[in-house]
Structure 1
Amino acid sequence: MGVSNEKTERCGTICLKYLLFAFNFLFWLAGGAVMAVGIWTVVEKSDYISLLSSSIYAISAYILILAGVIVMVTGVLGCCATFKEQRQILRVYFVLLLCIFLLEILAGVLAYVYYQQLNEELKENLKETMVTKYRQPNEDHVTKAVDKLQQEFKCCGSNSSSDWNASKWIISESKDSRRFVPDSCCKTPVDGCGKRDHPSNIYKVEGGCITKLENFIMDHLKIIGAVGVGIACVQIVGMVFTCCLYRSLKADPY
């Protein structure tokens, strides 16, 4: 009877090992996905980050990158701990899982909080940034971001093309070469095309670029929040498996 119980316990331990190994492999892949989302947000969309006064959007992305790196390292550690059946490594693995869980929940919460305040921030700051920093000394990153924003989203100005009337750059130009809007507002951008302020030449979008940028960032905040919270929920399964295996190994006489 005792031998039968020992065999059953041993079989349970083996099953838990393979379940945890499968989880760690999937977890490692998920870590790569989390890191990729964070890197993509920072690298591909970094121009737009310079148009925001708050750094929460960027911080959320950096947290995902950090969490993704730790997830991939933890996945390898978890596989080693599982097959070596060392409770000490399992304890370290569990603590790392808990830290990643908290990081990803934090990224999700930050994304949600910023989602709520994004509209007000853009209303307060986007126009000011565009008219005071565009084509100004040491503000090349803003100029690049504004040009990319207007061309990519086919818009002109924060709320409308008339916002550019207050631009420091446009006011400082001589009358002969003065543009009404930057050349990036043009439907077919060529040098000097911004001198002709006509709907057939420049983008006249209702709501201006502020609506386009807000929708774009909100979509990405949803992705950041969903990825962070989604992977965190999956980790709960991993922590449960780890606790079960730890208890099983503690009771296992072999």
Structure 2
Amino acid sequence: MEARYKRKNTCGTICLKYLLFLFNVLFWVAGGTVLAVGIWTVAEKSDYISLLNSTFYSASAYILIATGIIVVVTGLIGCCATLREMRNLLIVYFILLFCIFLLEIIAGVMAYMNHQKLDHELRQNLRLTMQHKYKQPGEEGVTQAVDKLQQEFKCCGSNSSLDWADSIWILTTQNAMMVPDSCCKTPREFCGQRDHPSNIYKLEGGCIGRLEEFILSQLHILGAVGIGIAFLQLLGMMLTCCLYQNLKEDRYSACCF
């Protein structure tokens, strides 16, 4: 039906089209950024996921990737709907924006509610994970994660290097190891036989403090990205409604005249 009428776009409609197109470009870039952050989190920091009993952190990273893909696709739909002045597609675009907005609110509430729980679980389980799973058969992922954690954050043990005294690996090893070699400031084979502060990291609070800071910083990134996109979406929904109404009025004018 719309094709039967020659549209006479008003100045307001033309301005709205370009504003909404600009918004979609920004929205598309934001989606690409979200996708990149999610992929970076999984690719670079996924080793630490094996140290957490909770799946909240890993789920957050994959939700970030899924959100980025949806935002990119939604932005492309918005560009097509805007440039071709397709009112039906504008409705689809508005619904997608609204759904993403609701998902971000739900994700934000879940992040706030689960943060304290995640912190508590981390403090309770990290030491036991290190002591019972490090260099044990079938726990290669945990071993790699612990070594990477201690080297990257320059720490030793969950709360302190003394935690390693009760490790199954230390108690069963035959080479008088005091701590893993990854605790050493200059890692080399069997350097963990000497736990003097000049040789190993003696960070106050151990690795758990640094891991908590890292997880909190990641959650802050999630929150900041979510808030930024949410504001963009509110603007996009308002522009979409305005453009839809203007196109409807232009069509009515073309029909009457």
TM-score for both structures, normalised by structure 1: 0.92
Whether contact under 8 Å (1:118, 1:214) holds in the other structure is: no
**Shift in Å at residue 197 of structure 1?**
1.7
**Shift in Å at residue 22 of structure 1?**
0.6
Q: What residue is the counterpart of 1:3 in the other structure?
A: none
Report the RMSD for the aligned CA atoms in angstroms. 1.5
Whether contact under 8 Å (1:126, 1:158) holds in the other structure is: yes
Q: What residue is the counterpart of 1:19 in the other structure?
A: 19
Q: What residue is the counterpart of 2:62 in the other structure?
A: 62
Q: What residue is the counterpart of 1:134 in the other structure?
A: 134
Q: What residue is the counterpart of 2:228 in the other structure?
A: 230
Once residues 34 and 203 of structure 1 are traced to their aligned partners in structure 2, the CA distance between those partners, rounded to angstroms, is 35
Q: What residue is the counterpart of 1:210 in the other structure?
A: 208
Any idea what SS the aligned residue of 2:10 has? helix
Whether contact under 8 Å (1:56, 1:110) holds in the other structure is: no
Once residues 48 and 99 of structure 2 are traced to their aligned partners in structure 1, the CA distance between those partners, rounded to angstroms, is 30
What letter is aligned with 2:243? L
Once residues 242 and 91 of structure 1 are traced to their aligned partners in structure 2, the CA distance between those partners, rounded to angstroms, is 8
Unaligned runs of 5+ in 1: 1-5
Once residues 179 and 143 of structure 1 are traced to their aligned partners in structure 2, the CA distance between those partners, rounded to angstroms, is 16
Identity of aligned residues (%): 66
Q: What residue is the counterpart of 1:114 in the other structure?
A: 114
**Shift in Å at residue 36 of structure 1?**
1.0
**Shift in Å at residue 17 of structure 1?**
0.7
Unaligned runs of 5+ in 2: 1-6
Once residues 113 and 144 of structure 1 are traced to their aligned partners in structure 2, the CA distance between those partners, rounded to angstroms, is 30
Once residues 68 and 110 of structure 2 are traced to their aligned partners in structure 1, the CA distance between those partners, rounded to angstroms, is 17
Alignment of 1:151-230 (within 5 A): 151-174=151-174, 177-230=175-228
1:40 matched to 2:37: no
What letter is aligned with 2:237? M
Once residues 18 and 241 of structure 1 are traced to their aligned partners in structure 2, the CA distance between those partners, rounded to angstroms, is 10
Displaced runs of 4+ in structure 1, greater than 6 A?
none
Q: What residue is the counterpart of 2:3 in the other structure?
A: none
C-alpha offsets along residues 178-235 of structure 1, whole Å, 9 cap, x if unaligned? 3111000111110001111211111111111111111111111111111112211210
What letter is aligned with 2:228? G
What letter is aligned with 1:208? G
Once residues 81 and 117 of structure 1 are traced to their aligned partners in structure 2, the CA distance between those partners, rounded to angstroms, is 43
Whether contact under 8 Å (1:107, 1:225) holds in the other structure is: no
**Shift in Å at residue 113 of structure 1?**
2.7
Whether contact under 8 Å (2:54, 2:118) holds in the other structure is: no
Once residues 69 and 183 of structure 2 are traced to their aligned partners in structure 1, the CA distance between those partners, rounded to angstroms, is 40
